[in-house]
Amino acid sequence: MRRFTSVLLCAGLLGILLLGCGETATPTKVGETGAGTSGAEGGSTTPATQAYKAGDKVKIGNMVVTLNKVRRLPNTTFNKPSDSKNIFVAADFTFENTGSEAENVSSLLQISMQDDSGYAAQQTIHTKAKTLKEGEIGPGRKSSGEIAYEVPKSVKGLQILYDASLLDAGQIIWDVGNASSIK
């Protein structure tokens, strides 16, 4: 029993050390010249905390991630909000692996929606959302689909966050706006 505890403790310490050894990936907008903000030298820089808009293609690591659009989903016989003051919204993504090795995508572990107070929206399943193929995306391949959320109609300052990796730092943030303005 003592040996098992020692092995478990060593494995936990190794895991903590590995989490601290990750690299930071900086997102950059692709597909346009002059993306980002102008620096004092007249060059183009992209701040790590820059928020993007729907339609922007953003490269982080070996992935090019596009939030294609955010749309309101209808209430159906099977899909009713948990509160009458809530609505369903779907974030439509495209993930493109530009690297030479497979990359993984997980909506539960890497993608979240939050409001201007920092509260997260509840990810949900909706019958009218287009399914996103999650998991492994091979080199040169794409995966597109929607992630559904339930949010209060009155919520303001919605943002969608994509964490590029579980081990490395680096995040893409898209401004979505107010829930009431999503069509």
Identity of the highest mean pLDDT range in 12-21, 22-31, 32-41, 91-100 = 91-100
Q: What is the mean pLDDT of residues 57-84?
A: 96
Buried b (16+ CB within 10 A) or exposed e, 46-78: eeeebebebebbbbbbbbbbbbbebbebeeeee
| 39 Ramachandran zone, left/alpha/beta (phi>0; psi -120 to 50) | beta
- pLDDT band for position 32 (50/70/90)? low
Q: Considering Cα of 75, then 76, then 79, then 84, what sign does the dihedral take?
A: positive
Q: What is the mean pLDDT of residues 57-69?
A: 96
**What's the whole-number average pLDDT of the chain?**
83
- Is 80 exceeded by the pLDDT of residue 9? no
Task: Spell out the domains of the chain, with CATH numbers in brackets.
Answer: 24-181 (2.60.40.1240)
Which range is least confidently modeled, 16-20, 137-141, 156-160? Answer: 16-20
pLDDT for position 4:
41
Q: State the amino acid at position 5 in one-letter form.
A: T
